[in-house]
Amino acid sequence: MPTGRWPGCAPACAGVRAARVVIADDDVRYEPHELAAAVHLLEHSDLVVPQNYFRPLPWHCRWDTARSLLNRAFGHDYPGTLAVRREAFHRLGCYDGNVLFENLELIRTVQARGGTVRHAPALLVRRLPPAARVFLSQRVRQAYDSFAQPARLAAELAILPVAAALARRGGAGPWGWRWFRRPPPRPGAGERVGPRCSRPTARCGSRCGWPSAACAAGWPWCCGCCAAAWAIGAGACKWPRIRILVWHGSRTVNRPGGSGTCGGR
């Protein structure tokens, strides 16, 4: 059964006359200058991948923002919106209705068939937060997204066993928790002891020390602090999906479901 964006996007892109098309979830909110920037980037690319951010920023979106920051640290994030040339969308292949994580599938299809993909992490597009109940209900289902990224899946599956092994050590030995601890640096003569970002910076003009793009997107420092909690939650959600695949096979992957996602995967 077709899932996700395919039932709406494929027929819509077939009937549209514009040369450049923006595909977005219903909770994505473009500003006029952001649309203009996406269209401008399409002049030299077949597909443009912006960056979503949440505003307002409730607790569960702060948690999920940690995922975006980790994705940006190790590569790039997967947002809920893409900009694409209509001709390339049909020539290179549109969404496959038989898979989840359609944006990754479309990006890989365009790349595999010789198209040009432009990741634009500085193109920040606001997204409305889902309800906490909807967000929590999607955690296990969205664990399937990592199945298309084997290296990431292996790393996430290893989180809980490694944490359990370290906890069992109880802090003793070279692989216990004490191994990760480092003595605090000693302040020099006349050096002020305090937080690293203790004065305004030229990057953002505030006391947070984040890059200007992060400040504009509303990514406070606490979102980065949630990275460990998000990683543990991601690792915990993968194991139930492994069990479902072992017992029921891949048929459960193609169940329809709402988006309810905080950003990309």
Q: How high is the pLDDT of residue 27? A: 93
Residue 42 tokens read as 């399409």
Which residues face 29 on adjacent strands? Answer: 126
| Closest among 17, 8, 24, 20 to 263, alpha carbons compared | 24
- pLDDT tens digit sequence for 18-70: 899 999 988 999 999 999 999 999 999 999 999 999 999 999 999 889 989 99
Q: How high is the pLDDT of residue 207? A: 41
Write down the pTM of the prediction: 0.72
| Closest among 259, 21, 224, 216 to 123, alpha carbons compared | 216
Q: How high is the pLDDT of residue 197? A: 41
- pLDDT tens digit sequence for 127-136: 999 999 988 8
Task: For residues 116 and 163, give the distance between their C-alpha atoms in angstroms, rounded to a whole number.
Answer: 40
- pLDDT tens digit sequence for 141-163: 677 778 788 888 888 889 888 88
Residues counted in the chain: 265
Are 47 and 107 contacting, i.e. CB atoms less than 8 angstroms apart?
Answer: yes
Q: Output the DSSP codes for 233-264.
A: HHHHHHHHHHHHHHHHGGGGGG-------SS-
The alpha carbons of the chain give a radius of gyration, in whole angstroms, of: 21
Task: For residues 235 and 175, give the distance between their C-alpha atoms in angstroms, rounded to a whole number.
Answer: 20
108, containing H or E segment: helix 102-112
Flag whether pLDDT at 183 surpasses 60.
no
Average pLDDT of the chain to the nearest whole number: 76
Domain locations in the chain as residue ranges:
6-57+75-129
Question: How large a percentage of the chain has pLDDT more than 90?
Answer: 26
Task: For residues 208 and 179, give the distance between their C-alpha atoms in angstroms, rounded to a whole number.
Answer: 29
Q: How high is the pLDDT of residue 260? A: 39
Task: For residues 67 and 29, give the distance between their C-alpha atoms in angstroms, rounded to a whole number.
Answer: 20
Residue 253 tokens read as 């992957």
117-127 β-sheet, strand order: 20-24, 81-85, 47-54, 117-127, 28-29
3-state per-residue secondary structure call for 24-45: ECCCEECCHHHHHHHHHHCCCC
Are 140 and 241 contacting, i.e. CB atoms less than 8 angstroms apart?
Answer: yes
As assigned by CATH, the class of the 6-57+75-129 domain is: alpha beta
- pLDDT tens digit sequence for 203-213: 444 344 344 45
Q: Could you count the other beta carbons within 10 Å of the beta carbon of residue 1?
A: 8
pLDDT band at 187 (very low <50, low <70, confident <90, very high): low
Of 260 and 105, more confident: 105
Q: How high is the pLDDT of residue 47? A: 95
